[in-house]
Structure 1
């Protein structure tokens, strides 16, 4: 199976046709023209100051509350390293990002997964868990177009989470790389913006709005916490990549970021709609919530379809998917995460046809 023949619903990355190559090339020239000394030298571990200032203005915070990282996954790792000790309780959504689960397990955390509903994490279930005596240090929440479930946390639940964090003394880790990739509806305020008690640390990334290759993510949180993490970053790599950050900064201040977001949202909105229609047409009994934004659609298959059998059968037919069980401590044997971001519209129906063939091939196999 050649790369040209493979249709991949596996990875949350944009296809090349929706990356603003020309805008990035022009931003790179401007970056070198504007600050050649600054971007070719070592920086400090907090990141490129002009970009930090832009991020601070976007979120309405002081610049000393911003630390730029090599992608948002490194922001996750820094925060977990700082706040989670072996044996500490941590709350995650069920399902949640597979690398988050892996990182927390490697950290030695006691992971408590709380069910996701169509409007986000079940705050009543979380409340009962807290009342039972569990005392998490962190609750990891992906509030907008959640990876992998695709759902968005309601305003009511954002407020409920903040109240629980204040009452029980844990940090909300608002992991929010998809917020700007919105197809319909109005944006909800971040928990960071609603926080009056310094219980929220916010992470985001330019991976989903500019391109993955820049590897520029960031943390926003209380200044003392950011300063502590910066010390750790200094000993790890001195500074993150100044060139990439300067290019992103120029891309942002020029307004190219807004045009890029608009293009990404238009393209992915079309792809999500086409994927949903193809699933309804070709796979009877499939269940899903059509997302209002983001990169992912979570699919519940009929119970006689085991994804451990389905994934290799799909690969044999030239379509790549990710098993739902990868995003859960237990369960997910009948679920898939489908990323529609990298599949161009002319390939989506064919990809689902191949997946449907694989479903029929493995039905009833225990």
Structure 2
């Protein structure tokens, strides 16, 4: 029987203690005081105009190049529906976010090509070889910073190389970047959007990781013509996204509270990532991983032959939730798992890894 105090390494979300609830309360009051008509009306599919303008300013683009949506997953879905037809080739990282795989496979019926992910990001050499061999993708989906599930970051050199490949082979780079602000070590890198001079990149991000998941506010930045097409799709889908949520986020951002919120989250993530790495080294010496420089996730490889599906069950019996690596792959990865450290305290991490090690050790006789 599992302990009553379940410790979850499964959810990529901040714990309540690092969410600026007071700042959100103040932002909500200001939003309703300053623009009650704007918040309570339907609005338009572009999103809340002041927030759209703020986002455009952050990225140095015209507001016509921005659409604000109900979370970044909806932004992803709109982009896929606009650009990806049934049977179109799409490049994704191996491993990649499980919801991306679901959307592309189930709803778009795309022809997915997984390219290996290395500690410094997508293997652009392998992608280049596949392109020369005849691969003609419509889109390449990349999570460049602190990738979900691996936690890896695309290097500066690989960003430039990927842009060059996209121009040469005429495909769109979808730069899916919800974790960009959450760097707690190392040097910040320029977005591919900022390096792009040819309209090759469509950029997405989210306030779920820097404000809180409950606001459900994400956005796309891209060529104005493409954003106009997506706006028409959004209009037919829901008339407009939530003006209330977006108005609150705008006040949170414009007031500067988002900066202090990000610093609070980064400090917590840095501590939690350090505790997790130390606990794994101490409790499960067989585990192989790359210490993250930001974001929410750590990718763990266990020795070949380890059955992580069995480990998943054994861990659950001990009150620990993990995510199997196979969830992020089309095939393989039976010896891998993802651990999210964003929603657990340092004390919970130590106890959770101790229980996970106990589950792993319990499987050892079966693997022998």
What is the rounded CA distance, in whole Å, between the counterparts of 2:214 and 2:68 in structure 1? 15
Residue 99 of structure 1 deviates from its aligned partner by 0.5
What is the rounded CA distance, in whole Å, between the counterparts of 1:288 and 1:82 in structure 2? 37
Which residue does 2:205 correspond to in 1? 204
Which residue does 2:282 correspond to in 1? 281
Which residue does 1:130 correspond to in 2? 131
TM-score by length of 1: 0.99
Which residues of 2 match residues 141-180 of structure 1 at below 5 A?
A: 141-180=142-181
Which residue does 1:292 correspond to in 2? 293
Which residue does 2:59 correspond to in 1? 59
Which residue does 1:266 correspond to in 2? 267
CA separation of 1:364/1:231 partners in 2, compared to 1, >3 Å: closer, same or farther? farther
Which residue does 1:222 correspond to in 2? 223
What is the rounded CA distance, in whole Å, between the counterparts of 1:2 and 1:227 in structure 2? 51
Which residue does 2:69 correspond to in 1? 69
Answer whether contact 2:2 2:316 (CA < 8 A) is retained.
no
Q: Which moved more, 1:32-41 or 1:299-308?
A: 299-308
User: Is 1:15–2:42 an aligned residue pair?
Assistant: no
TM-score by length of 2: 0.98
User: Is 1:247–2:282 an aligned residue pair?
Assistant: no
Which residue does 2:314 correspond to in 1? 313
SS where residue 149 of structure 2 aligns?
Answer: coil
What is the rounded CA distance, in whole Å, between the counterparts of 1:224 and 1:170 in structure 2? 16
What is the rounded CA distance, in whole Å, between the counterparts of 2:3 and 2:22 in structure 1? 25
What is the rounded CA distance, in whole Å, between the counterparts of 2:291 and 2:298 in structure 1? 7
What is the rounded CA distance, in whole Å, between the counterparts of 1:328 and 1:291 in structure 2? 21
What is the rounded CA distance, in whole Å, between the counterparts of 2:149 and 2:358 in structure 1? 23
What is the rounded CA distance, in whole Å, between the counterparts of 1:17 and 1:274 in structure 2? 17
Answer whether contact 1:306 1:365 (CA < 8 A) is retained.
no
Which residue does 2:29 correspond to in 1? 29
Answer whether contact 1:47 1:69 (CA < 8 A) is retained.
yes
Residue 352 of structure 1 deviates from its aligned partner by 0.1
Residue 3 of structure 1 deviates from its aligned partner by 9.2
Residue 284 of structure 1 deviates from its aligned partner by 1.9
SS where residue 365 of structure 1 aligns?
Answer: helix
Structure 1: state its 5+ residue gaps: none
Residue 285 of structure 1 deviates from its aligned partner by 1.3
Residue 85 of structure 1 deviates from its aligned partner by 0.5
Q: Number of aligned pairs?
A: 366
SS where residue 363 of structure 1 aligns?
Answer: helix
Which residue does 2:100 correspond to in 1? 100
Q: Which moved more, 1:356-365 or 1:67-76?
A: 356-365
Q: Which moved more, 1:303-312 or 1:107-116?
A: 303-312
Answer whether contact 1:304 1:365 (CA < 8 A) is retained.
no
What is the rounded CA distance, in whole Å, between the counterparts of 2:219 and 2:328 in structure 1? 23
Answer whether contact 1:287 1:301 (CA < 8 A) is retained.
yes
- Cα RMSD of the aligned pairs, angstroms, is 1.1
SS where residue 233 of structure 1 aligns?
Answer: helix
Runs of 4+ in structure 1 over 3 Å off: 1-4
Answer whether contact 2:2 2:317 (CA < 8 A) is retained.
no
Answer whether contact 2:4 2:319 (CA < 8 A) is retained.
no
SS where residue 180 of structure 2 aligns?
Answer: coil
Residue 2 of structure 1 deviates from its aligned partner by 8.3
Answer whether contact 2:3 2:318 (CA < 8 A) is retained.
no
Which residue does 1:48 correspond to in 2? 48
CA separation of 1:232/1:315 partners in 2, compared to 1, >3 Å: closer, same or farther? same
